[in-house]
Amino acid sequence: SQQGEEDPQALSIQEGENATMNCSYKTSINNLQWYRQNSGRGLVHLILIRSNEREKHSGRLRVTLDTSKKSSSLLITASRAADTASYFCATVRAYNNNDMRFGAGTRLTVKP
Amino acid sequence: DVKVTQSSRYLVKRTGEKVFLECVQDMDHENMFWYRQDPGLGLRLIYFSYDVKMKEKGDIPEGYSVSREKKERFSLILESASTNQTSMYLCASSQPGTGRYEQYFGPGTRLTVT
């Protein structure tokens, strides 16, 4: 069963704007990850945040995690047309590091 | 860089055929995974393997089997393909015990069963 649920399902913005995607999950986690998928391709790992972390940065990416609300957000700043892709959150369950579950994804379109 | 390759990008098979999807990784990872991806449903885990000859069922194992005879290779088998198995199939690998949990994905195989 899916663990994470992304919101919104689709997002369309202009180049230069910020994009925010949210993820909610249900069980206790060891960590949460975000992946990107370009159309018709495999997924690429973007960033991982552990359950004892609240915020993490990587280049133009900022991830937050609120374990009390069981939610995470991914912020992409100063978006570019090349950021157009689907973004998935994935949760690794506490006590079972092999159990990683993906959400349905957010489709981001960045218009030039 | 980790490289995960899948045997075919596109595959068309007929109902009832036995289908083999192969995945190879070159980083000596212990864990390997098979997912299917359908619109609106995200990725759903079919099977995973944490060692040679070891496997565990994921969320949707019905109609599928797997084989891992060598560490680098993980095969997904559709015993008798059906139209509801038309989907994108993604293979991934990861290395446990390093504190790095990310999975590395292959490019995917888009399977159509007619």
Residue B2 has pLDDT above 70, yes or no: no
Under 8 Å between Cβ of B69 and B52: yes
- Amino acid in the structure at residue B107: P
Q: Single out the residue of A65, A66, A92, A109 nearest to residue A3, CA to CA.
A: A92
In this prediction, residues A39-45 reach a mean pLDDT of 88
How many beta-carbon contacts under 8 Å exist across A and B?
A: 57
Q: How far is Cα B85 from Cα A97, in angstroms, rounded to an integer?
A: 28
In this prediction, residues A72-77 reach a mean pLDDT of 97
Under 8 Å between Cβ of B93 and B27: yes
In this prediction, residue B41 has a pLDDT band, given cuts at 50, 70 and 90, of confident
Residue A1 has pLDDT above 90, yes or no: no
In this prediction, residues A33-57 reach a mean pLDDT of 93
Q: How far is Cα A42 from Cα B88, in angstroms, rounded to an integer?
A: 10
Nearest-CA distance from B90 to chain A in Å? 7
Both tokens assigned to A80:
């570019």
Under 8 Å between Cβ of B25 and B33: no
Contacts of A1 in chain B (CB under 8 A): 59
In this prediction, residue A93 has a pLDDT band, given cuts at 50, 70 and 90, of confident
Residue B101 has pLDDT above 60, yes or no: yes
Nearest-CA distance from B25 to chain A in Å? 14
Contact at CB, B103 and A45, closer than 8 angstroms: yes
Instruction: Tell me the CB-side half-sphere exposure of residue A55, using CA atoms within 13 A.
Output: 3
In this prediction, residue B95 has a pLDDT band, given cuts at 50, 70 and 90, of confident
Nearest-CA distance from A14 to chain B in Å? 24
Residue A98 has pLDDT above 90, yes or no: no
**Does the beta carbon of B23 lie under 8 angstroms from any beta carbon of chain A?**
no
Average pLDDT, chain B: 93
The minimal CB distance from B101 to the residues A31, A44, A101 is found for A31
